Structure 1
Amino acid sequence: MKKILSLVLVSALGGVLTLGSYKLFLEPKHDVALSSTNSTPSFLPTSNVSNLLATNEAPDFTVAAENAVNAVVHVKNVSISTGQMTIQDLFSGRSPKRAQMGTGSGVIINANGYIITNNHVINNSDELSVTLNNNKTYKAEIVGSDPKTDIALLKIEPDEDLPYVTFADSDQAKIGEWVLAVGNPFNLTSTVTAGIISAKARDLSGTSSQSFIQTDAAVNPGNSGGALVNTKGELVGINTAISSQTGSYIGYSFAVPSNIARRVIEDIMEYGNVQNGILGISGGSLNSAFAEKLGINDTEGIYVDSVVEDSGAEKAGIEKGDIIKEIDNIKVSKFADLTGHIGSKRVGDIVNLIISKDGALKTLAVTLTRNETYTMPLVGRIKNTKKQDLKKLKATNGVKIIELNEEYADYWKNNGVEEGAIITSINNTKINNVDDVKEALENKSSHEPLRIELINSNGEKERYNFR
């Protein structure tokens, strides 16, 4: 019996030693975290590896911010306006003057002192000054401006080479890409905010004439004309507008793409004005409802509703019913995609389109032409005339009506005026082209009636007065 007990004890002791050795030397160790009911719970990332990668790849804005801050200036616009008259002013014949100052931002684009800003920052200025980041102030002259794109070019005469930013290709900017907005909001100089590109080709006007880069970088009054730069410090856009009910930033800001801004200032420097090229089509962006109305299956692209006579589009073979899918390898899903890219081009530049014609994809090269059309109030769309147009109605000068205003179409037709009629004079000003029409309308005072002389479709001269 004693032998049996001894064997059992020895076996038990061996088992204990074996288990203890396994626990001590072989079994993997697990750390146990003890928590009490009063401790604050911690929330851990689902993947420590992903978290480490995100930390290591976080963008460094310091170099881009330093470069941009030194190249962004504070623009001050002093305008003189007529103040409220007092009785003393009335009897003495004086006209009181009052100075008003507006402020904004600008971006130095070369070492010689050329500065790009917004047209609305310098509009109606009597005196302009520019303060650099080193607190030096210079008088600035307006080289030129373009209200359509809201871009202006200034020049100062510095006593040294200036730091400047280089242009990025805004067509290559990606949604989700980090950007910095640099400017002088609320007169707070050298302010840098960060965000991402939220969208591209935004049109705020509803007329498909704009193509902004949208960001969520904070932009406020005073930022206008400042720089939107990428993480390399390259200029992606010129900060121009915010979308807000209060007038201050609420999450959306908009910038003119650098490609458009660059083309505008190059035109101003080379030609003294902006050389706007047009494709020569009108139409609309496709969607399910529009496609169903047209009786087509395609829901993406630009549907061509009409083609301008003698335009590059007509010469390339684009017709009503075609659908533009791409321009220069850029997908076109809304009209602002098209106008935004064309806005960076000049008259005579060639763009390559992929269009859907009767369901088949075709590639067409289109040469951009000068805009020779204009939408005239009360009348409709007009166009520069050709010799045969004038000869047909025995006219010596004028512009041709190519599309009547829908609201007044019945009035014109009832008076024998149809597409093809020639407008020869506006308010006693001889008309030779659409630029003459624009100038005549701009020079007309608000209380002055609009007087139009034309040759109708039957070759008869007529005069119309509108008040």
Structure 2
Amino acid sequence: MSRLVALKLLVAVLVLGVSAVATTNSYAHPAPDGFADLAESLLPSVVNIASTFEIKPRLGAQDGGPGVPPWFDPFGMFGGQGRGQQPRETKAGGSGFIIDETGIIITNHHVIDNADKVVVTLSDGTELEAEVLGADARTDIAVLKVDPDGLLPAVKLANSDLVRVGEWVIAVGNPFGLGGTVTAGIVSALGRDIGAGYYDDFIQTDAPINQGNSGGPLFNMAGEVIGINSVIISRGGGNVGIGFSIPSNLAQRVVADLREHGRVQRGWLGVGIQSVDEEIAASLGLDEAEGVMISNVMEGYPAEEAGVLSGDVILKFDDKDTPDTRTLLRAVSDTPAGQEVDMVVWRDGDTKTLQVTVGEMPDDIDEPSSVASNGKSDLEDDTLDALGMMIITMTDEMRSRFNIPDEASGVIVAQVRRSSDAATKGLRRGDLIVRIGGQAVEDLDDISQGIEKAKADDKLAVLIQINRGGNFRFVPIKLDDEEAEEPEE
């Protein structure tokens, strides 16, 4: 009897064990036996793209090159056009995929950028000239339209938010002009920021991707597109198992705008922004290094009209936390122009809620950049040796010497001491200090008062705002950084 009970218990344990294992693995997809059926069903929806570019010959003097008479250089041997030389064409290849059976195709912006002619080759060899409906350089996405005789096989864009690291994927494309190439791998990582732009959110995969795969699809095992293959990291130009795809969720909104408007409509505040590090957070009284700091407010744009000030730290935008610049940029750009949202900022040691009506980003606005200023300083003017820098008063002579616009204000960084915190933070000669401790700077007294106030408040660093070539940013400088070292040349 006891043996029977024991046997029943053993069977129960085995059953529970199998059940537990089955439950644990129910979310995991085992390695497939093969990809043949899936590849066969998807290949017809992937296309090859050939972009043609016209290269015009350089013109020399009188068509004969610099200083060469045309009768002496009839064939352009001396660098000129030559009388008989004609513009020539070059081609570049890429990939794309059909998302609408009427002939709508997605590819990368860089595949067709500045092309004079774009030809799409279908899987059956049919060639069709394509119209570019729209292209977006910021996300590297373009939408093409072809006019086929019948309906084309289209694929569906998946919800890329559901993609998980370790999932099996296949990439289909036109590497090195070899159309209809299928490779397989897994999702290696999500949310990759590789420095390509402010909208970086790449899916990383080890599925082999090579030159010519650009614009092609990355499929999940359900045959849905989770990404657009766009970038590889490689020393020699070939695959090393590190490829990046634009997530399908990002693509969906961009594609919708390009199809409807021919361009992407993005929300815009009209501010310069920077990340908040631990030193900036400490100088502002923030408990944690979080949020996005406003380094500059542009006149006449939504942020200024809402009362946003330089030095504010945005903690929330439309009820969403903004821990970093990338999160804020996406939140703002995804907000329709004209929509009013609440924005929580940190100002003067407390939170403040502002209502801002989001504007539309102008087409001619570029991503922020840093412009270095150069100049020499002879320290003959009023000077202040503080914060590891030699700072001088703004005068007409100094404006001319440092090439400073008339409308710019502040004081000038004339020299930066080696090994100082200011040097470590990247300050250099020619930078303008326009604010210190939240107060505008007009002269050297403002700098001295800002330092004394920070010390009186037991601050470890004082926050200054600099203007470098029209680009503004905040920099925390340690207060005990007064090393008497030789200044930088």
Q: Do the two structures share a fold, i.e. TM-score over 0.5?
A: yes
2:28 counterpart residue number: 58
Structure 2: which amino acid aligns with 1:270?
Answer: E
1:196 counterpart residue number: 187
| Pairs within 5 Å for 1:88-103 | 89-90=75-76, 93-95=83-85, 98-103=88-93
Q: 1:100 to 1:232 in 2, by over 3 A?
A: same
Residue deviations 1:23-70 (CA, integer Å, cap 9, x gap):
9x99879xxxxxxxxxxxxxxxxx876665565543388687666543
2:358 counterpart residue number: 367
1:396 counterpart residue number: none
Q: 1:269 to 1:313 in 2, by over 3 A?
A: same
For the Cα contact (< 8 Å) 2:192–2:204, is it kept in 1? no
For the Cα contact (< 8 Å) 2:170–2:184, is it kept in 1? yes
| Pairs within 5 Å for 1:397-416 | 410-411=399-400
Pick from 193, 199, 205: which aligns with 1:216?
Answer: 205
1:108 counterpart residue number: 98
Q: How much does 1:418 deviate?
A: 0.9
Pick from 127, 131, 136: which aligns with 1:141?
Answer: 131
Alignment partner of 2:118: what SS? strand
Q: How much does 1:301 deviate?
A: 2.5
Pick from 237, 250, 257: which aligns with 1:247?
Answer: 237
| Pairs within 5 Å for 1:148-187 | 148-170=138-160, 172-173=161-162, 176=165, 178=167, 180-186=170-176, 187=178
1:304 counterpart residue number: 294
Alignment partner of 1:70: what SS? helix
Distance (whole Å) between structure 2 residues aligned to residue 146 and residue 26 of structure 1: 71
Distance (whole Å) between structure 2 residues aligned to residue 108 and residue 369 of structure 1: 30
1:75 counterpart residue number: 49
Distance (whole Å) between structure 2 residues aligned to residue 263 and residue 349 of structure 1: 17
Q: How much does 1:214 deviate?
A: 3.1
Alignment partner of 1:129: what SS? strand
Q: How much does 1:111 deviate?
A: 1.5
Alignment partner of 1:120: what SS? helix
Distance (whole Å) between structure 2 residues aligned to residue 223 and residue 409 of structure 1: 53
Q: 1:379 to 1:301 in 2, by over 3 A?
A: closer
Residue deviations 1:237-287 (CA, integer Å, cap 9, x gap):
322112232323334323334344344443333334343331333222233
Structure 1 or 2, whichever has the larger Rg, is 1
2:406 counterpart residue number: 417
Distance (whole Å) between structure 2 residues aligned to residue 262 and residue 202 of structure 1: 19
For the Cα contact (< 8 Å) 2:271–2:295, is it kept in 1? yes
For the Cα contact (< 8 Å) 2:43–2:180, is it kept in 1? no
Structure 1: which amino acid aligns with 2:50?
Answer: K
Structure 2: which amino acid aligns with 1:209?
Answer: Y
Q: How much does 1:161 deviate?
A: 1.3
For the Cα contact (< 8 Å) 2:46–2:95, is it kept in 1? yes
Q: 1:378 to 1:196 in 2, by over 3 A?
A: closer
Q: 1:198 to 1:330 in 2, by over 3 A?
A: farther
For the Cα contact (< 8 Å) 1:227–1:238, is it kept in 2? yes
Structure 2: which amino acid aligns with 1:191?
Answer: V
For the Cα contact (< 8 Å) 2:230–2:244, is it kept in 1? yes
For the Cα contact (< 8 Å) 1:142–1:154, is it kept in 2? yes
Q: How much does 1:299 deviate?
A: 1.3
Distance (whole Å) between structure 1 residues aligned to residue 140 and residue 192 of structure 2: 16
Q: How much does 1:302 deviate?
A: 1.6
Q: 1:217 to 1:369 in 2, by over 3 A?
A: same
Distance (whole Å) between structure 1 residues aligned to residue 400 and residue 20 of structure 2: 70
For the Cα contact (< 8 Å) 2:271–2:297, is it kept in 1? yes
Pick from 334, 338, 347: which aligns with 2:328?
Answer: 338
Q: 1:313 to 1:159 in 2, by over 3 A?
A: same
Q: 1:322 to 1:257 in 2, by over 3 A?
A: farther
2:476 counterpart residue number: none
Q: How much does 1:158 deviate?
A: 0.8
Residue deviations 1:130-170 (CA, integer Å, cap 9, x gap):
12234333222222323333222211111111222334455
Alignment partner of 2:115: what SS? coil
Q: How much does 1:225 deviate?
A: 0.8
Give unmatched runs, 5+ long, in structure 1.
Answer: 1-20, 30-46, 381-407, 421-467
For the Cα contact (< 8 Å) 1:201–1:210, is it kept in 2? no
Residue deviations 1:95-120 (CA, integer Å, cap 9, x gap):
15554332111121212111121121
Distance (whole Å) between structure 2 residues aligned to residue 256 and residue 195 of structure 1: 15
Distance (whole Å) between structure 2 residues aligned to residue 235 and residue 220 of structure 1: 18
Number of aligned pairs? Answer: 353
Distance (whole Å) between structure 1 residues aligned to residue 398 and residue 359 of structure 2: 30
Q: 1:246 to 1:414 in 2, by over 3 A?
A: closer
Pick from 323, 337, 351: which aligns with 1:347?
Answer: 337
Alignment partner of 2:260: what SS? helix
Distance (whole Å) between structure 1 residues aligned to residue 407 and residue 279 of structure 2: 32
Give unmatched runs, 5+ long, in structure 2.
Answer: 9-16, 59-64, 66-71, 374-396, 410-489
